[in-house]
Amino acid sequence: MSDLLERLRGRGWRMTAQRRVVAEVLDGDHVHLTADEVHARAVAKLPEISRATVYNTLGELVSLGEVLEVATDRRAKRYDPNAHRPHQHLVCARCGAIRDVHPAGNPLADLPDSERFGFVVSAVEVTYRGVCPNCAGA
């Protein structure tokens, strides 16, 4: 199950009930919850947990590189526990469903020097948009 928790323990992360619950909520594939969604699920397991703690904990997990921040819309940031393998995102324009995807090739290589304006370019984020089978079907 939760190798996230295992990894965190191994890194000497001080363990508290609140942190454990947040880490447990953020487990699985194609998980992209907002902070408030994480809070809601955490409250179900540990009713006293506060919003501030969820924000703090998510921020730390991001700093540790164990969770990624994803901004697929202009609403709330989402948190993606799939930080161990590089990937991009595919988003349904209707229902907002998000899938992790792995495009072929290296998008960085597609930006010619003449289009770099002297920047040292080090990263690229790609968001594919479309309609998911569920929304298209109906």
Partner DNA sequence: ATCCTACGATGGACTTTGTCCAAGTCAAGT
Partner DNA sequence: ACTTGACTTGGACAAAGTCCATCGTAGGAT
Binding site for DNA (CB under 7 A): 13-19, 34-36, 48-53, 55-57, 59, 74-77
59 binds, among DNA, its own copies, none (CB under 5 to 8 A by kind): DNA
Q: Closest approach of Cβ 47 to DNA, in Å?
A: 9
Q: Closest approach of Cβ 15 to DNA, in Å?
A: 4
If the CB atoms of residues 57 and 85 are measured against DNA, the closer one turns out to be: 57
Nearest to 77 by CA among 61, 1, 137: 61
If the CB atoms of residues 5 and 97 are measured against its own copies, the closer one turns out to be: 97
Q: Which helix (H) or strand (E) holds 101?
A: strand 98-101
Nearest to 22 by CA among 77, 59, 73, 74: 59
36 binds, among its own copies, DNA, none (CB under 5 to 8 A by kind): DNA
Burial classification of residue 5, based on how many CB atoms lie within 10 Å of its CB (0-12 exposed, 13-18 middle, 19 or more buried): middle
Query: Cα(5)–Cα(84) distance, rounded to whole angstroms?
Result: 14
Question: Which residues, in sequence order, are CB contacts of 86 under 8 Å at separation 6+?
Answer: 102
Q: Closest approach of Cβ 90 to its own copies, in Å?
A: 6
Query: Cα(128)–Cα(72) distance, rounded to whole angstroms?
Result: 9
62 binds, among DNA, its own copies, none (CB under 5 to 8 A by kind): none
* Residues at the site binding its own copies, with contacts judged by CB under 8 A: 69, 71, 74, 77, 90, 92-93, 99, 101-105, 107-108, 110-112, 115-133, 136
